[in-house]
């Protein structure tokens, strides 16, 4: 209660739904080369609204869409332009967000804060990245003081080099472990597709190529044939005789994600279904030269805020920017490389990592897994972030039946 006698009540934050486009390979040979970035996120937003027809469009309080490189067709306040293009009323506002790889995650947590405060009842959060049109850092002009005053090392501006630095710092995180983890990610993603786990939350996108029009219906970068022998022979582009390769890292990708968030009261009023409930979130900074360890302190902070421990987490969706980055978190918390709770349907190494869109992909997959696992109460979505940050969100399973295994 403040000095005016007003009680600040925290409102329940619900993840109602989330969808995404299939993720494509970046570049001229990728399926989205002739598709605009804003059209990708608009297509996803239209799909989200069509899946939730009982949501009054004029009741949506805000739209936050993230992009890492905010220029061209990823510029001009994406949240607002995408909302207008998707057919939302002109009364619905919107804005853009940039926290590099955690853009969509930050879209969610930012709007979640508005819901918790009582300012919002319904909100749309997501992200888009067209790395074919807008390579990471393209057109950026880093302040020369970063290097001249040794605020960061040169390698801090190259994500692959930061992954090599994690290998340096933790010798037990070997290339063989990274390759084995990467191979399993590919195999798990392929099995998830075979079992129809991924497809329900994909919004098909019409695409145009030299051969005519087609329909993007699945992620383009999957390599189910991946073997340890094949991974062992790949080049190490960031360092001679290094350990980081294209095979144990996420690729360059295009794609979009969006989610619908609501207050608990709005869920009841509109007859919506809660797929997840937000428990806590945290962001943390680390040395930019080893940015991949960022999810370790952010997860510790999120757990502390929630009054939980790592043993309370029954499902993990960790972004696989680099295999070594995930392994550093698993080692820190004493979790086995092949723990079945971790990335059950594979991760970004197989599916793709269109930077600012990936945070909501993690949430989409966790939400679907919650429904399959009523024995699990809490889950974690976490990711590393360029320039030395980590982001973590803890979610509660509304299907939890109290019968924890």
- Say whether 187 is catalytic: no
- Say whether 373 is catalytic: no
**SS3 of residue 74 by DSSP:** helix
How far is 209 from 211, CA to CA, in rounded Å? Answer: 5
How far is 376 from 368, CA to CA, in rounded Å? Answer: 12
Annotated catalytic residue, options 11, 134, 353, 373:
353
Contact assessment for residue 112 and residue 278, using Cβ atoms and an 8 Å cutoff: yes
- Say whether 384 is catalytic: yes
> Distance between alpha carbon 166 and the CA centroid of its chain, in Å?
21
DSSP run (H or E) holding 303: helix 295-306
Annotated catalytic residue, options 101, 130, 167, 373:
101
Classify burial at 213, counting beta carbons within 10 Å of its beta carbon; exposed 0-12, middle 13-18, buried 19 or more: exposed
DSSP run (H or E) holding 268: helix 264-270
Strand 24-25 versus strand 94-97 pairing type: unpaired
**SS3 of residue 67 by DSSP:** coil
DSSP run (H or E) holding 325: helix 323-332
How far is 164 from 108, CA to CA, in rounded Å? Answer: 30
Annotated catalytic residue, options 11, 167, 373, 384:
384
Task: Point out the residues that are catalytic.
Answer: 101, 353, 384
């Amino acid at each position: 209660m403040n000095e005016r006698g007003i009680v600040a009540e925290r409102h329940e934050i619900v993840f109602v739904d989330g969808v995404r486009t299939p993720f494509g390979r970046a570049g001229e040979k990728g399926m989205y080369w002739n598709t605009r970035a804003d059209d990708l996120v608009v297509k996803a937003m239209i799909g989200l609204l069509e899946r939730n027809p009982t949501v009054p469009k004029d009741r949506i309080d805000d739209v936050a869409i993230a992009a890492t490189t905010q220029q061209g067709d990823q510029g001009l306040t994406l949240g607002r332009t995408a909302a207008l293009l998707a057919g939302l009323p002109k009364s619905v506002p919107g804005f853009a967000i940039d926290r590099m790889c955690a853009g969509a995650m930050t879209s969610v947590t930012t709007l979640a804060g508005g819901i918790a405060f009582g300012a919002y009842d319904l909100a749309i959060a997501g992200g888009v990245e067209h790395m074919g049109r807008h390579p990471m850092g393209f057109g950026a002009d880093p302040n020369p003081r970063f290097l001249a005053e040794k605020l960061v090392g040169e390698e801090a501006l190259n994500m692959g080099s930061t992954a090599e630095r994690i290998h340096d710092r933790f010798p037990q995180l070997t290339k063989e472990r990274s390759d084995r983890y990467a191979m399993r990610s590919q195999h798990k993603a392929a099995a998830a597709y075979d079992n129809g786990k991924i497809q329900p939350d994909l919004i098909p996108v019409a695409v145009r190529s030299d051969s005519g029009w087609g329909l993007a219906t699945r992620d383009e970068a999957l390599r189910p044939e991946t073997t340890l022998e094949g991974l062992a022979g790949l080049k190490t582009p960031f360092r001679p005789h290094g350990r980081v390769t294209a095979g144990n890292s996420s690729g360059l990708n295009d794609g979009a994600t969006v989610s619908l968030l609501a207050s608990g009261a709005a869920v009841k009023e509109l007859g919506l279904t809660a797929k997840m409930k937000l428990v806590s979130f945290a962001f943390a900074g680390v040395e930019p030269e080893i940015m991949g360890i960022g999810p370790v302190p952010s997860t510790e902070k999120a757990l502390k805020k929630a009054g939980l421990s790592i043993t309370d987490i029954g499902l993990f969706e960790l972004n696989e920017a680099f295999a070594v980055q995930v392994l550093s978190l698993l080692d820190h918390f004493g979790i086995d490389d092949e723990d079945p709770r971790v990335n059950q349907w594979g991760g970004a190494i197989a599916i793709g990592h269109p930077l600012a869109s990936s945070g909501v992909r993690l949430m989409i997959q966790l939400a679907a897994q919650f429904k399959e696992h009523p024995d699990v109460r809490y889950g974690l979505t976490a990711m590393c972030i360029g320039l030395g940050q980590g982001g973590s969100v803890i979610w509660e399973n509304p299907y939890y039946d109290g019968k924890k295994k």
